[in-house]
Structure 1
Amino acid sequence: MASRNWRSVRGRTTLGATVVVAVALLIGAFSFYEVLSASIHGSTERAAEQRLDELAERSDGPGRGGIDALEDEFVQLIGADGSVRAASEDAREALGAAALPVSDDPQTLTVDGERMLVVSDDLDDDQTLVLAVSMDDDAETLTTVATLLAIAVPLLLLLVAVTTWLVVGRALRPVERIREKVDGITAERLHQRVPVPETADEIAALATTMNGMLDRLDAAATAQRRFVSDASHELRSPLATIRQHAELAQAHPGVTSIGELAEVVSEEGLRLQGIVESLLLLARLDEGASTHDEAVDLDDIALGEVRRLRAAGFDVDGSGIQAARVNGDPRLLGQLVRNLADNAVRHTRGRVAIGVTPSGGHVFVTVEDDGAGVPAEERDRIFERFVRLDEARSRDAGGSGLGLAIAQGIAASARGTLAVDDSRWGGARFVVTLPLGG
């Protein structure tokens, strides 16, 4: 089927090109023939008029003696009454006493089966000199040209058709190879790539672009598989904990109390709920779901996080918080700052600082700690989903590895960015950059 489609495209392209060239050649041939015919006819008229002028100058008296002696020419001297006063030998033999027509414009007529052009000139003695010249040479020339065109046009069309067939076939061959390769690429074969022809033309650019697209699809599919695997693991962990305690309580009722079981179920259920809510939020952010857009005071959000962390017993510096307003979803922006604050207290040794600084049309929200910091080579990876640089400590502290991924997604949805560098104490400093709002 694919081969037939390729041949069909090749045939349609060849036919279309041949028809276009055929129309162009026919128009050109007819135009050329008409221009050539007009040019030859004009040349014959000019030659006849020039010869007529020469004969008029050579006339002796009324011109009768000079005309009678002419041979191989049709010349007549016609009087005012329309009678033939003198004629060349060929004119006398062919016409006798019949006079050629007299007109100010050249005329064509058939004399003795021969097509002739007739021109006339008035003399001083009220007589008219008339000359008729044969047009057989003109007709023969035009017939030769018409014959050559009738032969050349079909040959040119055949040449164009064959050339187009070969050129289109050569041009479509790499396209067909690309099509066949793409047709065999499935979700399980996204690692395969299409061949790039060494032609450095549009087809090579197309193949390169398709390989780039396949690279992105492969990376997205790999990330999706990893995400599904990680999400399954995270969801399975609290379920397994709940099941183990339930089985233990069922097998040994005296060892595990109902209160202990309820506490474990409640704790793991909250953890499970947090993971599910985080996954749903990430899905919304990935889909570009529209968020409620209103004026939000970031300083109020930051001060609220400072009070919350201080109430939990952490030493939090909020002196760098300045008044700043942005446009966005207050709930999501609040979760952005909270995720960064929770990440900071999870890794701090004792000091955390939260700052809000408006500058140059942007607002910079900073959250820093005095923990171990983030190595330079890991600063991009920590924003990936389910990534933990310290697996054991993050899990013990309740982290699912989704907080920073959610924070980055919220920042992007608010037309901002999120980056990490070193804090003033050697720990990690997260910087959110958002455009100032009204």
Structure 2
Amino acid sequence: MPTTRPTTPHATTHARLTGPLALLVGADEQVPLVTGDTARYANLDIAASAPALQSVADRVAEFLPYYSSVHRGAGYASAVSTAAYETARRTIGAFVGARSGDVVQVVRNTTDAFNLLATAVPGDVVHLDVEHHANLLPWQGLGERARAVTADETVTETLAVVEAELARTPAALLAVTGASNVTGEILPLADLVEIAHRHGARIAVDGAQLVPHHRVHLELLGIDYLAFSGHKLYAPYGAGVLVGRRDWLDAAPPYLAGGGAVREVTLDGTSWADAPARHEAGTPNVVGAVALAAACEAIAALPDGELVLHEEGLRDRLLAGLEAIEGVRTLHLWRGAVQAIGVVTFTVEGYTAELVAQYLSAEHGVGVRDGRFCAHPLLERLNDGRTAVRASLGLGSSAEDVDRLVAGVARLVAHGPQWTYDVDGRPTPDPRPLPAWVTETGTGSACS
């Protein structure tokens, strides 16, 4: 059964996608190298945070003159802002095939969405051990109500252990990733939906990585809840969504207590509104919602299958190039042919992941990510807990970007780095100037 909505093949090349959709803010940005040269930035860190589509930035600029309070203001700008916010909610829901009764809950990001859902689940939650922390840590907060299942060596065997766990002890919710943020591999959601529903559980999908690459349709697939983030979907303006069935969200305690989430307040108590207002206390991120809706519109305008074929070609090119280099190992979850998005994680024998990533940036102008990718249990399985390097593809990616990364890794293996690097992998000295308006250098992430 298909994982996502069926697509129709279209001819494509491994060059950048053409047309307005391929226009990304900063796509032709020149970045300094430690050698004193510059290079067009090859952004292969899309899985962490994608740049804004130019059409999204344009929509935000168009909206900003009307920005005002929503739902309660009498002014014209307030009326426009309210209409824009609620229109965005409908647009986002339509993009993912929401049912007529579903709630489109505007949140900050996927992590926020699952923390909200964790307050609403009326029973046990079953999840896999391959999850991003966004779809792992909120369930751990439920204590004994959360049950982790260890993914097996093949997708088929993994489905079997999930079914066995749901059959062993009833659960209210099965929470799974749509696509691994470490390996890009995709689980068959239609099969998981069938398994969950057969055992009386609902299913929540972490769509942070899947939604930007494959169309997902809640109603056709039977998914109960879907969470994803604007900053993964070319709309990095601070909004994400939880889309799904209303009853649990209406029954849950308000995610935040405050104005906008209420029907009536007295000194003795409060009558709370239904979702989505129930969980959107305070002034919402209207700009973020407008941006996310604009991204949904732009991606929905692509011919079916065009983006998938574009990324599959580039991923195959990247895998072939890396696996031809002696000492390079790519990480995979499951044996056999598995559908995947444009994410490839690898290690280079003799070099730390931190040095490889810094070297690619400093000497080749290629942006990748190193670490454990907020998926520590999975990296424990795949790489004995050690860090790795992740390259990730998206709308603006090209064969030139892929080839530059592969050539850089090949040069590192054959000749070593041209520059010097400290024990943390950072170039020393680092002569690359920062923009004048930046005053602090980066010091790493709380979620490696």
Q: If the length of structure 1 is used for normalisation, what is the TM-score?
A: 0.20
Higher helix share: 1
Larger Rg: 1
TM superposition score normalised by structure 2:
0.20
Greater relative contact order (Cα < 8 A, sep 6+): 2
